[in-house]
Structure 1
Amino acid sequence: MGLLRSRAMSVALARRRTSPTQTGVRYGPVVVASIAFALPIFWLLVTSLKKQSEYGSALFPSVLQWANYELAVELADFGHFATNSLVLSTAYAALAVLVSALVGYGFARHSAPGRGKLFMLVIATWMVPNLVLFVPQFVLFARIGLTNTYWPWILWGLSGSPFAIFLFRQFFASFPRELDDAAEVDGAGPLRIFLQIYMPNAGPAIAASAIFMFLWVWGDWLYPALLLHQDNTTLAVRMANAYVDPHGNPMQTVTMAGVALYVLPLIAFFAFAQRFIVRGIVTTGIKG
């Protein structure tokens, strides 16, 4: 205890001796980077509170225009299309996480001929751009009548995600083999072991993969624009052409208000869950 106390006092004294120059060198780049990243958000919020006539001419609004937010909600039918985005994102994320966890569990805990080569094939598909795969998928969906429905996202969710499979495989590989042996002695099969032992202890990996899967669908514009009708499309597609005046001119300040409403919940959600993301990604590197 005495050694630890003296060590703690030495560290405290060393911190006190740190000069202002050293502190500036240490934290200056972090402060500059934080300001640089915060400027676009600041500009977005300030612009959303301006009059349309002040856009591009005034740095700050003369009078805060909170009505821009009301107009953004009204013009885009925010509640209806936000519900569409929420349902689609949640369904895809839930299916992709469950399927990817099952596949990752198989790669991590079960031996089979060609397992390593098959896993490398899964990782290789991660490197293929999504747009390259989307062209034949779109032709297939159109021929079997799945356009203007949510079925493409359901099928994508059921096929899993190479990123999430890699995440779960690395995470499950760090579990001690004794857990499987003890469960098998008690008569548990592979599926029961997965559901009762692995999934309850995979919180960080589940949270990290679910957040990425959810954000991918919530923030996507291209696939809903190509696959869905105007009535059942997502909020991102609706907002792209909702904010115009009766003459067809864009309403930039109202658009910024809509973007703020669209993005701020995601920022708050990400800030709340970032510790799970970091823990999940870091933990997956424990064992190869």
Structure 2
Amino acid sequence: MHEPERTFPPQHQGTQPGRQGEMHPQPRADAADYRGSGKLRGKLAIVTGGDSGIGRSVAISFAKEGADVVIVYLEETEDARHTHDRVVAEGVRCLTLKGDIGTEAFCGEVISSALREFGRIDILVNNAAEQHPQEDFTRVKREQVERTFRTNLFAMFDLVRHALPHLDAGACIINTTSVTAYRGHPQLVDYAATKGAIVAFTRSLSLALVERGIRVNAVAPGPIWTPLIPATFDEEHVARFGSNVPMKRPGQPDEVSPCYVFLASADSSYISGQVLHPNGGEPVNG
């Protein structure tokens, strides 16, 4: 059997969430040739997990398009500070909020803080997630399942429920699902289950909100170089991460964030209930 090629130096971080500042090489959050054109000027976007990885790149891209940004993160203060500085360098405002979106009370605080600071909400990006691999399914304890669902799925319900009274026609919600929702993953059964649920959540919420003029879509990334990877897998897995897709490499966050810009802007005005698939060329159903 062909041995997968190494794509990155072996590395591992012992705790979740991972720290982007400790990764080598650093994930690419900001494509050098990306030039904004004001597609989101005057809008306010909330991005959960906005401190690093895909969330950081989304926050920067939104800022380049003229949006003010609220970055929500768990505890990675240094990463969040770096993202904040990159966002405000684009001439927009940025608010960082630290806390656990797995608790409904904090989700309510996120929405009230955004409204207090900016007076409006136009874009909600439900992006934060966690994963905990288990080689033996019998070791997947209920506590782990509940924790993963609280962060990955329940927080989406809570944030949308608190935000909805303040969303006008033209607002949009973008959820981050995953290629694992379509192909599964033997060591990430609970994580994949949340991502499958997010697809159904996206489609159903889209139908529920379409008459209000609020669009709901999702992005299903494949293997993307983010802090979640070295914080989840061992050194050898990380070294070969992404080599099994048709493009034979992992993607970078700045190769994913344009999907969010597209779904947040008027360019996608006739699209709702759909999922985009930046996954290195892997065909998936749906």
Give the TM-score normalised by the residue count of structure 2. 0.24
Higher relative contact order, chain-length normalized (CA < 8 Å, sep 6+): 1
Greater share of helix: 1
TM-score where L is the length of structure 1: 0.23
Larger Rg: 1
Larger strand proportion of the pair: 2
